[in-house]
A and B are shown apart, each in its own frame.
Chain A
Amino acid sequence: MTLDLLQVGQKAQLKSFIDSPLTLNFLEMGLTPGKNIEVIQKAPFNGPIALLMDNQTIAIRVHEAKFLQVSL
């Protein structure tokens, strides 16, 4: 499944990227395969998703979250 499908409070492990021009951006932010992430907030009306990873909060749009493959 992809990250955008996670509910608030759900934890998952990042598996791989779906090919996109943003792969390098994900890597540089520290979103590397194997990382544990938790969805902590979602902005209303399909707005950005807030993730917790390595004690760091990251905001990402639903559109970008669709490129991140995760497993529960």
Chain B
Amino acid sequence: MILLNRWRRLTASLALLWMLHPVTGAEHPNESLEFLYIDANTGGSSGGHTAVKLDDTVYHFQNDEGYTRLARENWQRFRLVYNDVDNRNIHGAKIALLSEDLQRIRDRLGLRFMAQNRQVDYLTALQRDVSFLSALESHAPVQIVGIGFFDRRAHQTSDFKDIDDAIEIDHGPGFIRSERLRLQRRLETLAYVPPAKPARLEPDRYPIYDPTFSEQLEDSYAHWFALTAIDQGWPLRDGLLIEAGPLDPTDTATHSSHPNRGWLTRYRDQLREAIIRTLVSPYPGSGSPLLLSLARYQAISLSLSTGKFLVLDVLPNQSERGRGELSEADKVPLRRLISQLQKTVHGLLAEGFRQPEPDESVYHRLEVAASELKESQAGLSQERAIQLGQSDGPPKGIGYAVIPNHAMSTPQLPRARAVAAQKAQQFLEQMQTAYQYQLITHNCVTELVRAVNSSFEQGNETRALGGHLDPGAEQSFVPFRFFELVRQRYRVTGTETLPSQRNRRLTQLNHEESDWKVWAREGNTLTSTIYRPRLGDSAFLMFTEHAFWTRPLLGTLNFGYALATTSAGLLTAPTDQASLLKEGLFGMLFSIPELGLWNIRKGTFNDMSPD
């Protein structure tokens, strides 16, 4: 009842706030964005977390190796991680604003995300310079994306013959061989030149960087490899193709008029055009996409000749990566996934390729769904755990090669490596300076406020959002305090809470059984049917999320339980890599706030809720 009254008062206050924050002029806000506050829990973001949701896209700042990094995620994925797996309630406050103001925020966050991603890519490339130079020193192979698609056996396929012919006709006989020679010479003679120190990092401007030493070598090698694959007719590696189904799903016989066949033929034509253009006019970074196009080109040619819809496996060699056994409990969602994936594959084969214009994203969806289906079925039959998260992106074709580079002498290589390491370190420090992470002044909340405010000229955010917040002021560096200020200051039109996975399941049980029975069984970790203790959750006995006045008492029980676990952990430390000891120590740590009426720990899940 008290809560209900508070809720009514809050709603009335919100209505009043709305009236007090009129938008100037005749325009009325017709769009909305949502500030999110994610409850605390053990693990990452134990102080709670903050994000902003624009339609289906969520932006939030994270601490990544000492600097704040802007992350952009699909809402479904964000909710899966924070609401289902991490078991945190997500609270949202919707703010009404004009569509042009929403677009300003979207553009600012989008540009900032791209600019920082490019800077992070550059840092990675500088770090790869070091590993490439080390590899050259020891004549060791380096990883190159795309070369793993092909088997270096000559004259095994004639699928590239039309590409070869088209290039020879347009650019003269011998073009491919002369290009191969040119690239070979470049690979042999490219010396490391230290890059100039980049200018000050600007968060809102897309940076321009010259290709690094490793990027130039990788790109040249990929182009050389592609030309050689065409010239010598290299086939795809064995086991790389998956049969998604018949090319004509209604009849296994090949029909030259079936939409799938027509679509694939047009897509292959598009790929051929892109391959030829990239070979003739390469641009920095085009090597790996070129090899992917060649691999898909061959997969489509085989599909058309065999009448089977063959796609590249985006999850190759998964069985070689030991991931432990599949538990009985995990078989249930896995069977559910297999059934859903089968429907997806069949649906795509039946309906997905009806559009007249080929679309890479549709083709890629089939690659992903067919690969995930194959991997899920293998996991179930072999009773091994599977990992599907890596299927996020086109097939990679990772391969290794020794680069035949002789540009630097034996004494020059270690010197070049030292300089490269220094350059990478310098740039990392630049990143840490530009995007410094500090607990109070530069964290996930303060940076979000700064980014949103920077979308507007001075003072205009007050007009756009209905109010103004200074980053970190009034203790707003704490996520829940920030959310409270959002509700007080901005033009909030509604609030909503998405209960965590455990809370959703508790609500369901409360409909089926009496409250006290559910509390007695589900309130502790020993008899709970919803929750199973997981490594990283810390050792605890009683859930304290819903208790308030009894929280110190339950916290004392948790502290005692964690203390006992710690003692046991001391004994088992030599045999279990101190994991029980860590659980016990963290259990004690997260019990301390409970003694002071505060709850952080809620338990986490590793499976999906039934709903």
Q: Is the pairing of A and B real?
A: no
Query: Which residues in B have some Cβ–Cβ distance to A below 8 Å?
Result: none
Query: Which residues in A have some Cβ–Cβ distance to B below 8 Å?
Result: none
